Structure 1
Amino acid sequence: MYQRTGSTVSHFISTTVLDFFIALGVVLGGVLLGGIGAVIGGKPPMDTMLNLAEQLKIWAMVAAIGGTFDAIRTFEVHILEGKLNQVIQQMVFIFSAFIGAHVGTVLIRWLIQGNG
Structure 2
Amino acid sequence: MNSMLSKAALDFFIAFGVVFGGSMLAGIGSVFLFMPPAAIMVKTASQLKIWALVAAVGGSIDPMRVIESNIIEGHLSPVAQQIGFMICAFLGAHMGTELIRWLCKGAV
Q: Which category describes the TM-score, using the shorter chain as reference length?
A: over 0.9
CA distance in 2 between counterparts of 1:36 and 1:79 reads 45
- Cα deviation, 1:48-101, whole Å, max 9, x if unaligned, reads 001011001000000000001011111111111111010000000000000000
Q: Which residue of 1 aligns with 2:92?
A: 100
The counterpart of 1:72, out of the listed 64, 69, 79, is: 64
Instruction: After TM superposition, give the deviation of residue 37 of structure 1 in Å.
Output: 1.0
Structure-1-length-normalised TM-score: 0.89
Q: How many residues align?
A: 106
Residue 43 of structure 1, CA deviation = 1.2
| Alignment partner, residue 32 of structure 1 | 24
Distance in structure 1 (CA, Å) of the matches to 2:3 and 2:50: 24
- Percentage of pairs with the same residue: 53
Moved over 4 A (4+): none
Bigger RCO (CA 8 Å, 6+ sep)? 2
Task: Using structure 2 for the length normalisation, give the TM-score.
Answer: 0.95
